[in-house]
Amino acid sequence: MLYYFLDWLNGLYDIPGFGVFRFITFRAILSIIFSLFISLLIGKKIIDLLRKNLIGEVVRDSEIGPDHASKAGTPTMGGVIIIAAILVPTLLWADIQNGYVWLILLGTAWMGLIGFVDDYIKVFKKDKQGLKGKFKIIGQVGLGLVVGLTMLFHPDFMGSRANITRLNKISSNRLLQQAGFKTGDELIKINGESFSEYPDGEKYNEISLYRVKRTTVGEDGNNVVEEKIILVPQTQRKLIASELFGPKDNSFIYITDFPFFKDYVFDYSKVLFLDRIVNSQILGRVVYLLVVIFVITAVSNAVNLTDGIDGLAAGTTAIVGAALGIFAYVSGNHVFSNYLNISYIPLSAELLVYAAALVGGCLGFLWYNAYPAQVFMGDTGSLALGGAVGIMSLMVKKELLVPILCGVFFAETLSVIIQVSYFKYTKRKYGEGRRIFKMSPLHHHYEKMGLHESKIVMRFMIVAIFLVLVAFATLKLR
């Protein structure tokens, strides 16, 4: 909202220096600053409010050690701090007409609400199980359907170019800048001349002249610099979309980047080898919907499992969120995406502003959540963060990188699956259940081995940074 106000003010009075607010990178910096400030400002007040209302954590596994037993009564539901620190800066500094932005905001709030209900039942209803698993799954599947269907059919996500209708309301020069194109004379108005007709038969009395320079890869594999003049009627901004982004491609959504392979994308319409029998578009959309549901459900539950010791979930999510923000920025920039040979996703760069708020919110929450924790995020925070990470990975077409990018979350989930499966198998075979890990999720295993939780958190965060670097390396190791 501040973004729109300052942009309007600059257009009205041409204030020196105010043009900087059009740059996504600058607004991302403001977003993380505001997010940190908000989380630090409201954190203490929310913690005091939670304590006053006796909203304390129900410790499920005091058998882990005396340190965990002493945590009983620590305020939970602290995830509201993170959610506020994400939503407010994003609403202030992002282009909220951008489909990617409002959809990720919806997903964060949706999963935060599910987590809030879960925490409420645990604390106020004194039910350690919280919200029944089937209702959680319904909420996660429902969000997956909303996200998947929106990305498949909403114009902002259709094909390899942006929403034509919405571009009519956007400054064309800003669109060119966000796309990564170089502009010469940003707008030349031809006054005093009357154009009775234009090729499409409509009448205009002024047109815009754009000088667009783009770099493409020629047939011989070498970069070719093209410079072209685009004449755009003021009232017909959709011609900009056609010139910049090419023809609309409805299959773009269910095609994703495939790591480690150059010049190859993964097409969901071919995953079941039924494209010769079933219409490929229908098959691609159905499979893509299932993938969206699975990724959102899996990642949100994985972050929820990771939230077991002070600072672990918030710290690792901040690292992953920063990586996804960078992926969003390079994917939404024509120059960078062309150089890295990844999918160019128009307008997705605006997600960098959201990702910056997410990182700032997690870091601000760590101020109170680092060992010894003054507050726990609860399911309110962990489900919201997990949902956001899952949705962002889908938006920037990096869902196939999730096992690497979110490797800590993946390992935590895998440890639970292995532990439960092996316990059930040995109970059937030997009459008594046996365990592979001393305790699951994985961080509890290391606690039982005698490592202090602050050391576990720091080592897991180091591993998370390493895995993010490996994910970045896949851009060139192909």
CB 39 within 8 A of CB 57: no
Most confident listed range (335-344, 387-396, 425-434): 387-396
Determine the distance from the C-alpha atom of residue 462 to the mean position of all C-alpha atoms in its chain, rounded to a whole number: 21
User: Backbone phi, then psi, for 326, in 5-degree steps?
Assistant: -65, -45
Q: How many CB atoms lie within 10 A of CB 457?
A: 22
pLDDT at 176 over 70: no
- Torsion sign over Cα 126, 128, 130, 132: negative
Considering the chain, what percentage of its residues have pLDDT values greater than 90? Answer: 47
Of 84-98, 161-175, 224-238, 321-335, give the lowest mean pLDDT range. Answer: 161-175
pLDDT tops 70 at residue 212 = no
Per-residue pLDDT reduced to its tens digit, 47-67: 998 888 766 554 545 456 556
Q: Which of these ranges, 115-119, 210-214, 315-319, has the smallest mean pLDDT?
A: 210-214
Q: What is the pLDDT of residue 344?
A: 80
Mean pLDDT computed over 111-130:
87
Euclidean distance between CA atoms 150 and 123, whole angstroms? 35
* Average pLDDT score over residue span 344-369: 93
Can you tell me the distance from the alpha carbon of 443 to that of 65, in angstroms, rounded to the nearest whole number? 13
**pLDDT-based confidence at residue 4 (cuts at 50, 70, 90):** confident
Q: How many residues does the chain have?
A: 478
Average pLDDT, the chain: 80
Cα dihedral angle (240, 242, 246, 248), rounded to 10 degrees? 130
Q: Calculate Rg over the CA atoms of the chain.
A: 25
pLDDT band at 471 (very low <50, low <70, confident <90, very high): very high
The yes-or-no verdict on residue 136 having pLDDT over 80 is yes
- 175 neighbors 201 (Cβ within 8 angstroms): no
pLDDT value, residue 34: 96
SS (H, E, C) the chain: CHHHHHHHHHHHHCCCCHHHHHCHHHHHHHHHHHHHHHHHHHHHHHHHHHHHCCCECCCCCHHHCHHHHCCCCCECCCHHHHHHHHHHHHHHHCCCCCHHHHHHHHHHHHHHHHHHHHHHHHHHCCCCCCCCHHHHHHHHHHHHHHHHHHHHHCHHHCCCCCCHHHHCCCCHHHHHHHHCCEECCCCCCCCCCCECCCCCCCCECCEEEEEEEEEEECCCCCEEEEEEEEEEECCCCHHHHHHHHCCCCCCCCCEEECCCCCCCEEEHHHCCCCCCCCCHHHHHHHHHHHHHHHHHHHHHHHHHHHCCCCCHHHHHHHHHHHHHHHHHHHHCCHHHHHHHCCCCCCCHHHHHHHHHHHHHHHHHHHHHHCCCCCCCCHHHHHHHHHHHHHHHHHHCCCHHHHHHHCHHHHHHHHHHHHHHHHHHHHHHHHCCCCCCCCCCCHHHHHHHCCCCHHHHHHHHHHHHHHHHHHHHHCCCCC
Angle at 61 between CA 56 and CA 66, to 5 degrees: 85
**pTM of model > 0.85:** no
DSSP-assigned beta bridge partners for residue 253: none
